[in-house]
């Protein structure tokens, strides 16, 4: 099975965004319940913000390369809002064949190498 570079980066962004959610939630736990310091939020907040934006950009790029309807594309973008929603969306899209490259009628983008 061929996987485009964009799809591979999308999957990496999914995992990274979920990890940043974990860091941010732990930072909030410490801020509000444990030591009442915001250092964890100050560290993981910007990291999570950048990774959320990266996920959003990659979701749009994958949307343009996959035969997704407008509804699926919007769901992909909205999946970045709740904690771990990106993981749920990626698993669902992979399981239902909505996140596969090399399918008939779905060529890789011009100049984009196949990986794997």
pLDDT tens for 1-48 read 456 888 999 999 999 999 999 999 999 999 899 888 888 889 999 999
Per-residue confidence band for 106, with pLDDT thresholds at 50, 70 and 90: very low
Q: What is the pTM of this model?
A: 0.80
pLDDT tens for 18-28 read 999 999 999 99
Kindly list the distances between the CA atom of residue 79 and the CA atoms of 52, 55, 94, 110, 111, in Å, as whole numbers in the listed order: 10, 10, 14, 28, 29
pLDDT at 99: 87
What are the residue ranges spanned by the domains of the chain? Answer: 3-100
Backbone angles phi, psi at 103, to 5 degrees: -70, 150
């Amino acid at each position: 099975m061929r996987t485009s570079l964009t799809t591979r980066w999308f999957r990496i962004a999914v995992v990274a965004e979920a990890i940043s959610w974990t860091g941010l939630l732990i930072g909030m736990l410490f801020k509000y319940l444990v030591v009442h310091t915001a250092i964890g939020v100050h560290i993981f907040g910007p990291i999570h913000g950048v990774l959320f934006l990266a996920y959003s950009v990659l979701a749009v790029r994958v949307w343009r390369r996959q035969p997704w309807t407008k509804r699926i594309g919007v769901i992909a973008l909205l999946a970045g809002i709740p904690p771990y929603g990106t993981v749920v969306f990626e698993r669902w899209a992979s399981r239902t064949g909505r996140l596969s490259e090399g399918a008939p009628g779905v060529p890789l983008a011009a100049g984009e190498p196949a990986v794997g």
